Amino acid sequence: MRILGIDPGIAIVGFGFIDKAGSKVTPVQYGCIQTEAHTPDEERLLHVYEAMLQLIDKYKPDSVAFEKLFFNRNVTTAMSVSQARGVLILAATQRGLPIAEYTPMQVKQAVVGYGKAEKKQVQEMVRMYLKLQAVPKPDDVADALAVAICHAHSYTLNSKINEVLRK
């Protein structure tokens, strides 16, 4: 199973593709989509949308996992990131991919084992879990991989629960 984890943003969209086979999880490709500051939002959104379609078409994930947005201060940033998230969901939906969402606390719990873990702890666990030489940069990329890992764990658990319920 191939999973695409996404950390949505308007300036930087972190993405991470991982393969899950049994209990083994391996990185496939990861990076970020960046847009230029001072560019009109509609152009930035188009760039994010088109770049995501290209990535989906190239790496062919079976499902997509997003980090749920959480904002407590800057409403302007929240609006821009929400719009970017919308075009990312649209790209995945147009390709017929199932979508899952996880809160930052759920991601931290799945990756570190503690829902209030620090960002550095999550990044280091992503590096160790995927056997990477260094923590992926920028932070958005490590966050996207953490979301993908969270989905890999949750998908396995949810599959087992559904299997039991079907019996």
User: Is 140 known as a binding-site position?
Assistant: yes
Q: Report residue 50: phi and psi, to 5°.
A: -65, -40
| Contact assessment for residue 147 and residue 30, using Cβ atoms and an 8 Å cutoff | no
User: Is 19 known as a binding-site position?
Assistant: no
Active site residue 7: yes
Q: Please give the structure tokens belonging to residue 15.
A: 């993405």
Catalytic pick from 62, 67, 118, 124? 67
User: Which DSSP state fits 114?
Assistant: -
Active site residue 140: yes
Q: How many CB atoms lie within 10 A of CB 129?
A: 17
Q: How far is CA 67 from the centre of its chain?
A: 6
User: Is 7 known as a binding-site position?
Assistant: yes
CB neighbour class for 23 (10 Å; exposed up to 12, middle 13-18, buried from 19): exposed
Binding residues for Mg(2+): 7, 67, 140
Q: Which residues are catalytic?
A: 7, 67, 140
Binding residues: 7, 67, 140
